[in-house]
Amino acid sequence: MLSDVPESPARPFKPGEIELKRAPKEPLAPGGDGDTGLLELPVIEPPRVANARGKRPDWLRVKLPYGPTYKQVADLVEQHQLHTVCQSARCPNMGECWSAGTATFMILGNVCTRSCGFCAVMTGRPDAGLDWDEPRRVAEAAEKMRLKHVVITSVNRDEREDGGAPIFAETIERLHALGCTVEVLTPDFRGNREACQMVFDARPDVFNHNVETVPRLYRRVRPQAHYQRSLDVLRWAKEAGLRTKSGIMVGLGETQDEVLALMDDFVAIGLDVMTIGQYLQPTKMHLPVEEFVHPDVFRWYKEVGEAKGLGHVESGPLVRSSYHAERHV
């Protein structure tokens, strides 16, 4: 019956994007027309590669920051008393991004109220109150850097009922006034829907909230967060008509099946963009790397995620939430 035939994918798969396995043809039954009523669907299998815990492999080596543009960005950040997640989280792409004249600004200070096992941002009790001049300084720096697209993220401010959402909203509005497109990478605001709505109402071009890892590892990786709460925040953003994005790190002890199940959760809430990158231990005080995932596996994750229905999957060992963010608008 025609009603049993699945709809075509939103776009055709590119050659080599998905490995197709074809079943051997069975002899036709006498008088048959060769139509068994079965459809040949893509079968996507993980590449067979050896992934070992231990010394960092060659594919994770990055160039040190350098160049006049890098220095100009660093000087502007210091001059305007701003924080960047590039520095605080020790991002491996800082040299590439800063040398290209882009940066991800971190608002609400540089002290986080949570103690995630993977994160290099300082944990503690932030100074009381909010820095209401911060949105102006971010916009001024973005204007001097001549940015077209800006990513804004923050620490968690769980001591506040609003989680710092008003600063997010004003920063978005000031950047839009400059003609910039804006992606926000927000905390979960402890599931406070009113706080989330403040950010939604400012209409960021991309709303990003990372789930970071698979549900089984939350107690060890994100002890003060809840997987379902993070999914709810992303679902609310989608219901508000925003383009949504989320990401995870791999190499923390998750299984491939768990990553695929997480992709299904993302598809169920209509997520637009997913990022997948290798977890790198910032210091010996942080969680160890359980596995250095091979680049072939990252490519496989991209193929599977997009075949499942995710609009775009940015997947690679050095991928971070803000990497190539301008392409995700």
Per-residue pLDDT of the chain (329 residues; tens, 9 = 90+): 433 333 333 443 333 444 433 333 434 333 344 443 433 444 455 554 444 455 777 777 655 555 555 566 666 656 655 555 554 445 555 555 544 556 688 899 889 999 899 888 888 988 888 999 999 999 998 888 888 888 999 999 999 999 999 999 999 999 999 999 999 999 999 999 999 999 999 999 999 999 999 999 999 999 999 999 999 999 999 999 999 999 999 999 999 999 999 999 999 999 999 999 999 988 888 999 999 999 999 999 999 999 999 999 999 998 877 765 556 66
Q: Which of 238, 195, 223, 229 is nearest to 210 (CA)?
A: 229
User: What are the φ and ψ backbone dihedral angles of 221, each rounded to 5 degrees?
Assistant: -95, -45
- Read off the pTM: 0.76
CATH topology of domain 64-328: TIM Barrel (3.20.20)
CB 117 within 8 A of CB 221: yes
Residue 271, pLDDT score: 98
Bridge partners of 329? none
Q: Which of 258, 187, 150 is nearest to 266 (CA)?
A: 258
CB 91 within 8 A of CB 327: no
CA distances from 247 to 97, 126, 174 (A): 19, 26, 26
Classify residue 31 as left (phi > 0), alpha (psi -120 to 50) or beta. left
Q: Which of 327, 289, 304 is nearest to 51 (CA)?
A: 289
Residues for the chain: how many in total? 329
Residue 92, pLDDT score: 54
Residue 16, pLDDT score: 42
Residue 35, pLDDT score: 41
